[in-house]
Amino acid sequence: MIDPHKLLAEKEVTSLVQETPIVLEGQYREAYDAMLDAYNAGLYVGLIGPVGSGKTALCRRFAEDLKRPFEWVTFSDLVRPANLIGSFDPTLVFKYGYALEAFVPGPFTMAALSGGVFLANELNRGDEYVLNSLLDTLEERKLYIPSLKKWFGVDEKFYFIAAMNPAEARGTRRLPSAVKDRIKVWIQLGYPKKAVEQKIVEQHCSEYSLKPRQIELVLEIVHRTRDDAAVAQPASIRSSIAMARLAAERAKRFGRPVDNQLLGQAGKLVLREALQMKPGREIEAYLDGLFTEILGTAG
C-alpha cells in the first residue's frame, strides 16, 4: 500500500528554478524586448492574445531571466481578493489568534513584498471588485491587507503583467478604467508564424524522431483551423505539440514510422474538443474533410 505522506515527502519540489522552453523569435522576441523596455521604464504591461498563444510561457521566461520570483493567478468569477492577498490559516489561528503569524500570504502579496513578477492571467475574466483590490499596490506601491488591518511597503523590484484574451473571446469583461489606466504598455500577440511554431513543436518533441515534413503537416492542419471562418475557436500551439507527440507515440507503440494515417488519428483525438465550431457546423465532418484534403486520409 502506498504511504501518501512518504510519497509527498519524496515528490516535494524544493527548487522552482528552471528555464522555461520558449523560442524567442518573431513576435516573441519583439514582445520580450518591449516588456524589457517597459520594465526598465517602470511601466506595467498588458499582453493581449488568444488562448494558447504563449503568453504565460513568455512571462515565466521573462521572470526567470530577471532572476525574480514568479507568481501568478488565473482570474475567473471564482477568484476572490483572499486568493490574491491571502487569508488566515484556521489551525494557526487557534495558536496565535488573528495575528501576523497565522496569516498565509497569497501570490500577489508574495510577489509584491519579495520583488517578484506577478502575472494576472486572463485578467479580463475577473470580477471588478477583485480587480479593484490591486489598485493601491499598482498605483501607490503600498499593499493593504484587510485581514491584518495593516499597510505594507511594496518591494521596488515588484513588477506586474496582465495577460488577457481578446475582448471578443467568450467570458471576457471590459476592464474597469481605473485598472486599465495602471497598465501603460499594450502588446498584441497572435499565433506564431509556421517557421517559429515549427521550432516550438520540435523543442517539445525532441525525444521523438519526427521528420520536418511530418511537423509541417501538423502545422498545415492547425493553421488551417485558424484561417477558417467556420471555426470559432481554432487550434492553439498546445494542439500542435499534442498532435505531434501523440502521433509519434502511437507510431512507437505500433512499431512503424509516423505516417499520414497516424497523424490523422492523432489529430482527431486532439482537435475533437480543442476546436469550437460556429453554429451549423459539425466537428467530425469538418475534421474528416480537413484531414482528407491535407493528409489524403481521414485517419
Long-range contacts of 141-150 (CB under 8 A, 24+ apart): 143/85, 143/109, 143/112, 143/113, 145/85, 145/86, 145/103, 145/109, 146/81, 146/85, 147/82, 147/85, 147/86, 147/87, 147/88, 147/98, 147/103, 148/100, 148/103
Q: Which of 160, 188, 216 is the last residue before a domain boundary?
A: 188
CA–CA separation, 50 vs 35, rounded Å? 18
Find the Cα–Cα–Cα–Cα dihedral 150, 154, 158, 164, rounded to 10°. 40
Q: Are 97 and 239 within one domain?
A: no
Last residue of a domain, one of 170, 188, 206: 188
What are the beta bridge partners of residue 45? 161, 185
In this structure, what CATH number is given to the domain that contains residue 169?
Answer: 3.40.50.300
Q: In terms of domains, do 184 and 239 share one?
A: no
Predicted confidence at residue 170, as pLDDT, reads 77
Average pLDDT over residues 196-209: 93
Residue 46's identity, in one-letter code, is G
| Residue 292 pLDDT greater than 90, yes or no | yes
Residue 159 shares a structural domain with residue 70: yes
Which residues lie below 8 Å from residue 100, measured CB to CB, with a gap of 6+? 148
14 pLDDT tier (thresholds 50, 70, 90): low
Which has the minimum average pLDDT: 34-43, 164-173, 211-220? 164-173
pLDDT for position 12: 66
CA distances from 191 to 151, 218, 241, 246 (A): 41, 15, 14, 21
Are residues 77 and 221 both part of a single domain? no
Domain range holding 175?
4-188
pTM of the prediction?
Answer: 0.88
Kindly state whether residues 175 and 253 are assigned to the same domain: no
Domain identity same for 79 and 208:
no
Supply the pLDDT for residue 61.
Answer: 96
- Give yes or no for residue 16 having a pLDDT over 70: no
pLDDT in tens, 148-186: 999 999 999 999 999 999 877 777 888 999 999 999 999
How many structural domains compose the chain?
2
